[in-house]
Structure 1
């Protein structure tokens, strides 16, 4: 019997000012998988899966089931549950508008999509919380993953795992792509993830606040962006971020939003100062585009590992975006921009 369904997973922005590796927000820019399973069709792929792809990264994304992050992840989920391959006649069409390597959670969205794909294909019946465990075995950043799966504005943390939990090569770690080892069929059943690896809370979000994403035209890998960070921080800098974090999570829920409270609460000393060398113009933009110079602006920060800039605002979105684009243009960096909102439902599945 033929079955078709669509998986939608939102982009996400992590860190959000002082919330380094803690805060994430899902955004209304969706990775979509249109999946059709027709047992009457036979594909040459040894995993019974044909992948077609359109959108961001179309020229470079692998289209082989054990090399593509989405389908590798799905195979991992299936194999944890005793299923070795996709059903005969599985066609996965990927439509991806999320820029790769720009700090908008593209790999996180792919991992979430892959876990949901495995759950649907295998008819496993997992809850979102259980699927989150599978995601967090692959992508070790709960801020992006949790926002993409659960939706909205979230805070999260990750339970410490043992080396034994992470050593099996069947786990397709997102940051080691395109190495194919994680997709290789060793013939073994990978260990199921521990229960409740990640814990999270969903905050409110003032309805007036929208997110302006300014997306430079160059990629910046998470690994590169993390390499510039120190291995230790001063007590003063840690307290600086904790104080602002405690205010920001509530300030963004209040209506009407208070720019005098939110803007200083979005300052950071743990990651943005160290990443300024990787994003030309970042220091000037963060310091000079303010609520006083641009009414309607609430706060501004690096999105995830960058290079995308996220500006939260209640009005004058075009004016704010154009100002930041002009600042980047001085550095000979071209950008695009998008006006987005929180994707409250997170990842969804629609049957056809």
Structure 2
């Protein structure tokens, strides 16, 4: 067998998008890339050799049995009766997605790992089936669906049979077990096979005039912490508030030219942002002060995922909008990076 080389490219994502908590996902032009080579002649190299550049390079584990991307890849291989990595795998990761900032870094890593396992095993698993693999690991569909298929998407988890439900609720520690350093072909139990059709999705339209500004503060908000502050029950009027705006927003963002007042009002939320304000200094002030009347060209503003990144949708005056939000964070002694992004339509790709 000859040397194989390929590149896996996964976009970052934003989820929730105002009222669309755990429903809406948006694929954006900031990428996690894997440059992979497989040299079968290196029969003595049984474990992938990893290197990293870019965001998180100092924190990312280089042990393939501890790194999330390669652990996910091994899960895909083992489900398909391939017990270990092929010989001579070298992976260089080039990552532009900040960790722990609400831009889908973990979802991108999961999707990259699934594509890596599919490519290393030459399995030719269809993209729709790959979503099932992703949802065995990342139990919320919004980020992984957007990273997988691209564009502006809505997604949900299907009600499954009791047997399939039990499979999807297998603890993550059993889906991605703590592999020993000397993991071998004979180690471990059989991994749980993903049921078919765990999640479904739909792609919405996106007006070409709408651009995305991501204001990324220099601190992290852990997803587990951001979820822990949410209430267990909601008032019915708050649920209806979000449902009304969600139904309008998905149509409004597809219309050209965009209606700034309609989109701004439809991006309001009462399900997650009010409860996360204290985790992100200055958030309440930012959401209340940056609006179409004060910043022409602005369409809407919201938390990206669990935060702390702020997502602003706009058609013009992008730098002025970004400067205003950064200035509000500066009042809290918080510095930010600003990224001007486009909505990508391709999702994750593999190029030989």
- Asked whether the two chains share a fold, i.e. TM above 0.5, the reply is yes
Q: Which residue number corresponds to residue 96 of structure 2?
A: 97
Q: Which residue number corresponds to residue 153 of structure 2?
A: 154
Q: CA-to-partner distance for each residue in 1:29-62, whole Å, 9 max, x for gaps? A: 0100000001223565xx5211111111111111
Would you say the 8 A contact 2:69–2:112 is kept in 1?
Answer: yes
1:56 maps to 2:55: yes
Q: Which residue number corresponds to residue 171 of structure 1?
A: 175
Alignment of 1:59-98 (within 5 A): 59-98=58-97
Would you say the 8 A contact 1:42–1:48 is kept in 2?
Answer: no
TM-score norm. by structure 1 comes to 0.94
Paired residue secondary structure (1:312): strand
Q: Which residue number corresponds to residue 302 of structure 1?
A: 303
1:226 maps to 2:227: yes
Q: Which residue number corresponds to residue 137 of structure 1?
A: 136
Separation in structure 1 between the aligned mates of residue 44 and residue 237 of structure 2, nearest angstrom: 59
Q: Which residue number corresponds to residue 325 of structure 1?
A: 326
**Displacement after TM superposition at 1:184 (Å):** 6.7
Paired residue secondary structure (2:36): strand
Would you say the 8 A contact 2:175–2:192 is kept in 1?
Answer: no
**Displacement after TM superposition at 1:85 (Å):** 1.3
Paired residue secondary structure (1:21): strand
Separation in structure 2 between the aligned mates of residue 167 and residue 144 of structure 1, nearest angstrom: 20
Q: CA-to-partner distance for each residue in 1:224-282, whole Å, 9 max, x for gaps? A: 10011000100000000000000000000000000010000000000000000000000
Would you say the 8 A contact 1:170–1:184 is kept in 2?
Answer: no
Q: Which runs of 5+ in 2 are unaligned?
A: none
Separation in structure 1 between the aligned mates of residue 126 and residue 221 of structure 2, nearest angstrom: 33
Alignment of 1:259-338 (within 5 A): 259-338=260-339
Flag as ranges the 4+ runs of structure 1 deviating above 2 A.
40-44, 159-170, 183-189
**Displacement after TM superposition at 1:191 (Å):** 2.5
Paired residue secondary structure (1:22): strand
Q: Which residue number corresponds to residue 126 of structure 2?
A: 127
Q: CA-to-partner distance for each residue in 1:134-184, whole Å, 9 max, x for gaps? A: 0000001100000000000000001245234432644129xxxxx668x97
Paired residue secondary structure (1:202): strand
Would you say the 8 A contact 2:17–2:267 is kept in 1?
Answer: yes
Would you say the 8 A contact 1:43–1:50 is kept in 2?
Answer: no
Separation in structure 2 between the aligned mates of residue 180 and residue 284 of structure 1, nearest angstrom: 46
Would you say the 8 A contact 1:143–1:156 is kept in 2?
Answer: yes
**Displacement after TM superposition at 1:86 (Å):** 1.2
Separation in structure 2 between the aligned mates of residue 303 and residue 184 of structure 1, nearest angstrom: 38
Q: CA-to-partner distance for each residue in 1:291-316, whole Å, 9 max, x for gaps? A: 00000000000000000000000000
Aligned residues: 343
- CA gap of 1:310–1:91, structure 2 versus 1, over 3 A, is same
Q: Which residue number corresponds to residue 176 of structure 1?
A: none
RMSD of aligned alpha carbons = 1.6
- CA gap of 1:95–1:43, structure 2 versus 1, over 3 A, is farther
TM-score norm. by structure 2 comes to 0.94
**Displacement after TM superposition at 1:190 (Å):** 1.2
